[in-house]
Chain A
Amino acid sequence: MARQTTMRSNRHGIKGFMGEKLLLLQSEHVVGYVWLTPAFVFLVVMVGYPLIYNLILSFLDVTSATLLKPSKQFIGLKNYILVMKDPIFPRVVKNSFIFTLGCIFFQFTIGFALALLFNLEFPLAGAFRGLLLVTLMVPTVVVSVIFKWLLSGDFGLINEFLIGLHLLKKGVAWLAEPRTALAGVMLANIWIGISFNTMLLAPGLAAISPSLYEAATIDGAGAIKRFRYITLPLLRPTIMIVLLLGFIYTFRIFGLIYAMTGGGPVNATNVLPIQAYKLSFSFFNFGQGAAANVMLLGILLTVIAVYLSFVSGEELMEE
């Protein structure tokens, strides 16, 4: 290598080579930051500044009447208190957690089962796994309308199916019925989430050496024991990451529910992101909307911090 460089430098003259190298060394640090500047300036303006601005708004009296006035009154924590004192607020928080934990339970279990299935060697396993990804690429509003149609009270396919099996006598308007609406939107989200979980668990499963399973089989371990004592412990870090990401992405859900039910009927599917959005854009209580945003961010940043502690620094640097 050294010899090659010498030969090359001879071709272009020693001076040029030395100068070039010196320039590279000197400017390296400065030049590095120059490359980052456009993207990070953009993010500061479009993410950093709005987040701070939102925090400020949450302490001000901002309604449609005061929105465009230059000075808004500082009202301390009043917005937060009003958001939490709203009689529907406990319902919203409860919905958020039922939705998130319920979805994660089903999508993780089913997704894990599918990842195990597709990890076996058989023709088309990879193709099937790949096909599932299409559900993640489709606009969520399309998923919303398809499931709205499937769950429709009049001639919806799910009703027709359940009536055909004699499980129902009469169609249920799943999304219009306060008792069933949350389950309805969860069904649509679980459908998307299954692919998400399968996709993320599959590489972890594939990375487990088959020789471990072979050795265990020779030692007389059945399928359940192999899963319990090999797959689960080795997959643990991946599982933690998938569950935490699942929580973050599910808890912040907006579009899917908003397009299916708008948070209704009677707040049956109202979750924290929807409530925050509606406070601002349906009720024009921008200050309260900002306060609800801060609460949502607080919950998510806590979970994100836990998630980051699992994604070790090393992993982050190397990837």
Chain B
Amino acid sequence: MKKAVLTSVSLIIVAMLLFPFYWMLVTSIKQPSEVVTSPPILITKNPTLSAYSEVLTKFSMGMHLRNSFIIAFSAMTITIVLGVFAGYGLARFRLRGLKIYLLVLLVSQLLPDVSLVLPLFIIFSRVGLLDRFLSVILANVMLWLPFVILILRPYFLKIPKTLEDAARIDGCSFRRAMVRIIIPLALPGIITAAILTFLFSWGEFVFALTFLSRNEMQPVTIAIYNAIGQYGIRYNRLMASSTIAIVPVVLIFIFFQRYIRKGLIVGGLKE
């Protein structure tokens, strides 16, 4: 009985906290006339996908999704490769100054991204990287690499060194030992790190805003930001764009939830 009460109370609280997502979704499928009504229409009786087709055709949402995907996927790949190397190195070897390396990572993870926009903007403009995906990809790698190294290191620490040595004594080449033993054992950590890097890069805002000025290069986050001014009061379009932007997030979240929770807690987070 008491447990049933607790479950219902929690259900109400969680529903209230997630309500903004419901409101986004229901606004996005309303007829334009139903969006601006008083009292508001909480459940639409004649849903329509017209807002979606508008943002997909007139505002080329598909192109922006593709841009976001290119940026997030590339940033994820580079971050994971660099992160696996460094995480393994920091876990496996008795390094002088290990603590300093870890401190540097911890501090860079906490630095404000905004402070790096200006110097990177000038550096990138000098080397001609502005208005190229690479600028935003590199910025994303920079943002999430310290975090990724810090969450991968414990996974490598857990693999007994003797296991690796045994494989090598058995005549396994180092590369084979890495591919056949170490990477598979650290895979849960690598998946966690990859998912989080992808999602964070997908939602990144300030670097894309500053480095990519051409519409055809911009990711969904910037397309939505630009749409705030453009659409004016057309909230059904704005909510349709937002819904489209979070579909990949929700899908990844559903399939990989346990990895996400663990990674966020171990790695010490992001807000």
Contact = CB atoms under 8 A, between A and B. Distances in A.
B120 A50 contact: yes
B123 A319 contact: no
Contacts of A33: 89, 95
B114 A38 contact: no
A181 to B, nearest CB: 15
B10 to A, nearest CB: 5
A35 B93 contact: yes
Given A8-B169, A29-B93, A155 B224 contact: no
Interface in B65-90: 82-83, 85-86, 88-90
A147 B20 contact: yes
A141 B224 contact: yes
A98 interface: no
Nearest to B68: A139
Interface in B216-271: 220-222, 224-225, 228, 233, 235, 238-239, 242, 245-246, 249-250, 252-253, 257-258, 260-261, 264-266, 268-271
Contacts of A43: 104, 108, 142, 145-146
A122 B108 CA distance: 40
A20 B169 contact: yes
A210 interface: no
B233 A146 contact: no
Nearest to A160: B40
B179 interface: no
B94 interface: yes
Helix, strand, loop or mixed for chain B's interface? helix
A269 interface: no
B123 A50 contact: yes
Contacts of B146: 43
A281 to B, nearest CB: 6
Interface string B144-169: 01100110011000000010011011
A118 B252 CA distance: 24
Given A146-B239, A148-B228, A200 B117 contact: no
A188 to B, nearest CB: 9
A254 interface: yes
A133 B261 contact: yes
A45 to B, nearest CB: 9
A95 interface: no
Contacts of A130: 257-258, 261
A1 B249 CA distance: 48
Given A147-B20, A194-B17, A296 B88 contact: no
A39 B252 CA distance: 27
Interface in A270-284: 273, 276-277, 280-281
Given A155-B38, A308-B106, A53 B122 contact: yes
B153 A319 contact: yes
A123 B242 contact: no
B235 to A, nearest CB: 5
Interface string B30-45: 0000011111100000
B185 interface: no
Interface in B172-213: 199, 202-206, 209-210
Interface in A181-208: 191-196, 199-200, 203
23 contacts: A5-B169, A38-B86, A42-B82, A47-B108, A47-B111, A50-B123, A117-B6, A128-B13, A133-B260, A134-B249, A134-B253, A137-B260, A139-B220, A146-B20, A155-B37, A157-B40, A164-B39, A254-B113, A281-B121, A290-B119, A304-B110, A316-B106, A319-B150
The 4 residue pairs across chains A and B that have the minimum distance between CB atoms = A35-B89, A32-B93, A139-B203, A252-B112
Interface of A: 1, 5, 8-9, 12, 17, 20, 24, 28-29, 31-36, 38-40, 42-43, 46-47, 49-51, 53-54, 57, 67, 114, 117-118, 120-125, 128, 130-150, 152, 154-155, 157, 160, 164, 191-196, 199-200, 203, 245-246, 248-252, 254-255, 258-259, 273, 276-277, 280-281, 286, 289-290, 293, 296-297, 300-301, 304, 307-308, 311, 313, 316-317, 319
Interface of B: 2-4, 6-7, 9-11, 13-14, 17-18, 20-21, 23-24, 27, 35-40, 82-83, 85-86, 88-90, 92-96, 98-99, 101-104, 106-108, 110-123, 138-139, 141-142, 145-146, 149-150, 153-154, 162, 165-166, 168-171, 199, 202-206, 209-210, 220-222, 224-225, 228, 233, 235, 238-239, 242, 245-246, 249-250, 252-253, 257-258, 260-261, 264-266, 268-271
